[in-house]
């Protein structure tokens, strides 16, 4: 009796070990299937482009490429794996499906007569240049965006006003003598916000050329506010498919003005508040949740955020860095505010205009920003949806980077199953 029970117990334990191994193998193969489905739809793949242009539904080459990617990621195995790949184009949507089955030999379960364990899985990815998409553009126009656009501009500003930031000082509607932003403009110095506004306007032409039907892309344009005393989400252009009407409005975007130096402790860059504000607008428009993009009535929704990456706002609780005077929080973007939007189904595209490392006369950068400077870019990248993060300095071309991010947003394949 003891011997009989011992065999059963060993078999049960062995079955658990073999099942655990099978689950691990399934996880590995699922990763290979995901990679294969995404890779064949990548915008960098010539076969994917050919498949999108195919008229007869013959996707043999794309399917073969997906198979090779699967094999490369699955590696050499001691068990039998069968896979089936299909790439189908329907209604302007390209769908790659990778099914796999693995027959895994058991070790301990053989005591119970279980020779193999079969595991199955599937990955589905889709992409479409014909999808309808709504872009909610949030442009950071807070005072730090008054930095000179290039190192040459920064040097000119320092020589002219002994300050690398152009402060837009307006009180009672009257520009003050301390307005270094006006000085910079008069001297022909380009600031970072100038570059961003110009790039946003230019992007409208790019979007027009990329669309397949007149109402395929709609754009809404927002800033952090015209002046510090009225800061908050400010609509520059409502959501519209008339991109020609958005372009001139983008060119009017100006640096947020302040009534005086150190107004309200310079707490002007509230990422948490403004991103939540945009999320609310996105949730309240066009059926609420982000759609499939298959029809104009069911558009996909994307937050397109351009910023220099430093949250600087009144946040006495929850700040990841030391507070100044108990309220002022300077920190990288908080993951929670981004996760809320992504969990709601929205995608986030972020263009990071690099926060330049510099020394200031009062040592503010060294004391308050430098300790977390290395975290700014990684935090923004984590905030963005996969493949929708770009970092660029103004001298490298904000215009081209913004266009590249737009194309990435409309072409990036997504796992849907």
DSSP code for 191: B
Confidence check: pLDDT of 340 > 80: yes
Token pair, residue 8, equals 């059963």
Distances in whole angstroms, Cα of residue 281 to Cα of each of 138, 303, 341: 12, 11, 12
Q: pLDDT tier at 90 (50, 70, 90 boundaries)?
A: confident
> What mean pLDDT do residues 116-132 have?
82
**169 touches 258 (CB < 8 A):** yes
Half-sphere exposure of residue 236: CA atoms within 13 angstroms, side-chain side: 28
Query: What are the tens digits of pLDDT across the range 226-267?
Result: 999 989 999 999 999 999 999 999 999 999 999 998 899 999
Q: What is the mean pLDDT of the chain?
A: 85
Which one has a higher pLDDT value, 60 or 224? 224
The pLDDT value recorded for residue 48 is 43
Confidence check: pLDDT of 403 > 80: yes
Which one has a higher pLDDT value, 156 or 142? 142
**Exposure b/e, 333-359, CB count within 10 A at least 16 = b:** bbeebbeebbeeebbbbbbbbbbbeee
**103 touches 26 (CB < 8 A):** no
The pLDDT value recorded for residue 91 is 66
Confidence check: pLDDT of 287 > 80: no
The pLDDT value recorded for residue 10 is 47
Query: What are the tens digits of pLDDT across the range 302-338?
Result: 999 999 999 999 999 999 999 999 999 999 999 999 9
Confidence check: pLDDT of 107 > 90: no
Query: What are the tens digits of pLDDT across the range 14-25?
Result: 556 667 777 888
What are the percentages of helix, strand and coil residues in the chain, rounded to 5? 45, 25, 30
Token pair, residue 170, equals 């307006």
Confidence check: pLDDT of 45 > 90: no
Is residue 235 classed as helix, strand or coil in its secondary structure?
strand
Alpha helices, H only, 144-242 = 151-161, 180-186, 192-210
Which one has a higher pLDDT value, 208 or 87? 208
Which one has a higher pLDDT value, 236 or 65? 236
> What mean pLDDT do residues 64-71 have?
82
Confidence check: pLDDT of 362 > 80: no
Query: What are the tens digits of pLDDT across the range 175-201?
Result: 998 899 988 888 899 999 999 999 999
**Distance from C-alpha of 99 to C-alpha of 122, rounded to nearest angstrom:** 4
The pLDDT value recorded for residue 360 is 53
Query: What are the tens digits of pLDDT across the range 368-401?
Result: 999 999 999 999 999 999 889 999 886 778 999 9
> What mean pLDDT do residues 142-149 have?
91
Percentage of the chain surpassing pLDDT 90?
47
């Amino acid at each position: 009796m003891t011997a009989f029970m011992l065999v059963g117990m060993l078999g049960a334990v062995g079955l658990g070990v073999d099942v655990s191994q099978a689950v691990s193998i399934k996880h590995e193969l699922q990763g290979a299937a995901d990679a294969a489905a995404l890779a064949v739809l990548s915008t960098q793949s010539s076969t994917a482009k050919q498949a999108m242009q195919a008229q007869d539904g013959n996707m043999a080459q794309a399917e073969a490429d997906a198979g090779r990617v699967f094999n490369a990621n699955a590696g050499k195995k001691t068990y039998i794996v069968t896979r089936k790949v299909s790439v189908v184009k329907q209604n302007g949507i390209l769908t790659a499906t990778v099914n796999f089955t693995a027959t895994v030999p058991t070790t301990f379960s053989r005591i119970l007569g279980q020779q193999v364990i079969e595991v199955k899985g599937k990955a589905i990815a889709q992409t479409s240049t014909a999808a309808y998409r709504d872009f909610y553009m949030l442009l950071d126009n807070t005072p730090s965006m008054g930095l000179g656009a290039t190192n040459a501009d920064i040097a000119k500003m320092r020589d002219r006003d002994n300050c690398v930031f152009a402060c837009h000082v307006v009180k009672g509607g009257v520009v003050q003598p301390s307005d270094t932003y006006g000085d910079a403009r008069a001297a022909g110095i380009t600031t970072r916000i100038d570059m961003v506004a110009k790039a946003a306007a230019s992007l409208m032409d790019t979007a027009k050329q990329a669309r397949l039907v007149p109402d395929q892309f709609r754009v809404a344009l927002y800033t952090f506010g015209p002046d510090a005393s009225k800061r908050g989400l400010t609509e520059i252009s409502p959501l519209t498919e008339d991109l020609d009407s958005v372009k001139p409005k983008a060119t009017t975007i100006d640096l947020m003005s302040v009534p005086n130096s150190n107004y309200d402790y310079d707490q002007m860059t509230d990422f948490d508040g403004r991103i939540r504000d945009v999320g609310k607008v996105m949730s309240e428009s066009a059926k609420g949740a982000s759609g499939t993009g298959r029809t104009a009535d069911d558009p996909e929704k994307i937050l397109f955020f351009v910023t220099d990456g430093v949250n600087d706002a009144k946040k006495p609780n929850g700040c990841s860095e030391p507070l100044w005077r108990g309220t002022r929080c300077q920190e990288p973007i908080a993951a929670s505010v981004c996760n809320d939007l992504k969990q709601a189904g929205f995608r986030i595209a972020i263009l990071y205009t690099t926060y330049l490392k510099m020394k200031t006369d009062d040592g503010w950068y060294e004391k308050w920003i430098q300790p977390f400077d290395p975290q700014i870019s990684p935090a923004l990248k984590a905030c963005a949806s996969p493949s929708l993060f770009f970092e660029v300095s103004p001298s490298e071309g904000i215009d081209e980077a913004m266009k590249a991010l737009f194309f990435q947003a409309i072409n990036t394949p997504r796992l849907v199953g």
